[in-house]
């Protein structure tokens, strides 16, 4: 007798997929964007709006994690770290909908409980329902009764050490603006591939096919896309007319002001945005210590029509071989804390610790020391980090210059860039930037 056929599984709802993503990120310490892409590829929601809702739920709840956990801890009868990953994910997603989305309270509770059942945890449905109902009865989002730093840390969902550090480095007003900006969804920004088109030409083409876009405020090659959806489906992607890149990252290339036709070494090239930007007008050797990241750079170079100008090689930038030779320009986009990209990678704010800076600074010094030997006399060393922290930016460069009198800081002849002394610096805030620092150093002899 043949076994009875199993009924086909119903497609998971957006909330059920969000539970899967949040739980997997918590269990594996993986990057949110990587897990989200993997889950969406695996389950392939038929309605694009479902993919958008999954993305909003996961990023929003991750950005607001400390805020949500504080609220949940005020009504839960057990410690949150004792709750299994999928159940805790459901609680956080339900709380996010209650306090930060325009979802009716009954729907936020009911549909989250249904989503938990859909992922096989019906036994926990009563517990989650009770907690979310208690939370929905609160008149407002609860905040701690501690000092101002503690309240700010919970309200804006950043660890207390980071709030204090930013207040010390940038002052209370700017720190508050940075914290707030980290919780705003970033714009989708693209950089025109100037080897094929101009920004104005690309803007005209996008407008003609009905894609809403506007020029970036400072970068001369960037466009901000309005509600673009899946970028790979947009006009110009397959044709290699543009590449996704935040405006602040674009400004590193503008600030570098490299001579056309230069021989360039990009010592820490992954994921390849700056290497491809540079290859529009120069010949680039792109290195990365992780060989598995090089095919992505090569693929992007082919899509953009830059493969003849960009080659890759797996090398550790902190121990470069002498026979690598000299280059007109060496670019060092160094490994860093990533604190300038917390709106794009919100999970990083909970994983970074203050003790990390000493190890990162040591690695950055090793890389600078190894790379400076390969700058030809009269050439440029461009150092960049996607962080706000002064120890990884100006402090690192000043230390390098004190021990290398053959280098000097040389700002570019480009007007309108956000400079601090000779250095490029962008901070999260109302300007809409990620946080970046870059230094342009000339080798005198």
> Residue 285's beta-bridge partner residues?
265, 311
Give me 239's structure tokens: 């044709």
At 15, phi and psi to the nearest 5?
-70, -35
CB contact at 8 A, 117 and 144: no
Dihedral of alpha carbons 367, 368, 373, 379, sign: positive
Burial class of 101 by CB neighbour count within 10 A (0 to 12, 13 to 18, 19+): middle
Across 297-318, b (16+ Cβ under 10 Å) vs e yields beebbebbbbeebbbbeebbbb
> Residue 438's beta-bridge partner residues?
384, 424
Q: List the one residue out of 233, 231, 213, 232 whose CA is nearest residue 223.
A: 213
CB contact at 8 A, 244 and 233: no
Q: List the one residue out of 211, 227, 273 whose CA is nearest residue 248.
A: 273
At 330, phi and psi to the nearest 5?
-120, 120
Catalytic site positions: 386
């Amino acid at each position: 007798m043949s076994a009875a056929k199993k009924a086909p599984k119903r497609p998971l709802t957006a909330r059920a997929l969000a539970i899967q993503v949040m739980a997997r990120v918590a269990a594996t310490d993986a990057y949110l964007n990587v897990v989200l892409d993997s889950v969406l590829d695996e389950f392939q929601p038929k309605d694009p709006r479902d993919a958008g809702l999954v993305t909003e739920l996961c990023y929003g709840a991750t950005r607001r994690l400390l805020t949500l956990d504080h609220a949940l801890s005020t009504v839960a009868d057990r410690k949150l770290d004792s709750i299994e990953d999928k159940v805790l994910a459901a609680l956080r997603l339900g709380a996010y909908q209650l306090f930060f989305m325009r979802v009716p309270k009954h729907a936020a509770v009911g549909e989250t409980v249904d989503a938990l059942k859909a992922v096989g945890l019906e036994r926990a449905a009563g517990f989650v329902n009770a907690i979310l109902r208690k939370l929905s009865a609160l008149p407002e989002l609860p905040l701690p009764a501690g000092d101002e730093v503690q309240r700010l840390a919970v309200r804006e969902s950043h660890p207390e050490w980071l709030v204090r550090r930013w207040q010390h480095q940038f002052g209370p007003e700017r720190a508050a603006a940075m914290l707030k900006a980290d919780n705003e969804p970033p714009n989708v920004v693209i950089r025109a591939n100037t080897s094929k088109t101009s920004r104005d030409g690309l803007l005209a083409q996008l407008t003609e096919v009905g894609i809403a876009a506007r020029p970036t405020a400072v970068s001369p090659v960037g466009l901000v896309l309005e509600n673009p959806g899946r970028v790979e489906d947009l006009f110009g992607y397959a044709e290699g007319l543009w590449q996704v890149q935040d405006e602040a990252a674009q400004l590193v290339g503008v600030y570098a002001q490299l001579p056309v036709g230069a021989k360039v070494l990009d010592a820490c090239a992954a994921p390849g945005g700056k290497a491809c930007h540079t290859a529009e007008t120069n010949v680039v050797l792109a290195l990365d210590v992780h060989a598995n990241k090089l095919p992505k750079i090569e693929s992007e170079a082919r899509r953009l029509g830059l493969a003849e100008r960009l080659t890759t090689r797996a090398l550790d930038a902190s121990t470069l071989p002498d026979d690598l030779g000299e280059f007109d320009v060496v670019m060092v986009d160094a490994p860093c804390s990533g604190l300038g990209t917390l709106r794009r990678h919100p999970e990083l704010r909970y994983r970074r610790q203050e003790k990390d800076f000493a190890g990162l600074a040591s690695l950055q010094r090793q890389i600078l020391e190894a790379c400076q030997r390969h700058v030809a006399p009269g050439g440029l060393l461009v150092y960049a980090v996607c962080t706000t922290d002064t120890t990884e930016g100006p402090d690192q460069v000043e230390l390098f210059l004190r021990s290398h009198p053959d280098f000097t800081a040389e700002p570019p002849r480009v007007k309108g860039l956000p400079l601090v002394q000779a250095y490029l610096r962008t901070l999260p805030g109302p300007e809409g930037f990620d946080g970046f620092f870059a230094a342009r150093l000339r080798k005198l002899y």
